[in-house]
Amino acid sequence: MNGATAWGAVASVAMNLEEADRAPDLELSEIVWKSVRGADSPMPPPVRAGFVRALEEDEEEGEEDE
């Protein structure tokens, strides 16, 4: 646990951490990064990916076998 004077302490106290996914992800990630790597360490840009599953012709939405 970081102290009250740690980098990002004021911002993290204001975040809603009671429910999953309610805190701003980039801001929280930067606070965690800097608490581990140091306040002067720049955080790398986030990597995001989307996953898509191609439907087979007989699986397409709205089509049902009768």
Compute the average pLDDT of residues 35-49.
Answer: 92
Average pLDDT across the chain, whole number: 84
Compute the average pLDDT of residues 35-51.
Answer: 91
Does the pLDDT at position 30 exceed 90?
Answer: yes
More confident residue, 1 or 38: 38
Terminal Cα-to-Cα distance of the chain (whole angstroms): 60
CA angle 15, 9, 13 (to 5 degrees): 30
Label each residue of the chain as H, E or C.
CCCCCCCCHHHHHHCCCCCCCCCCHHHHHHHHHHHHHCCCCCCCCCCCCCCCCCCCHHHCCCCCCC
Structure token pair of residue 66: 């009768």
Structure confidence at residue 64 as a pLDDT band (50, 70, 90): low
pLDDT score of 50: 87
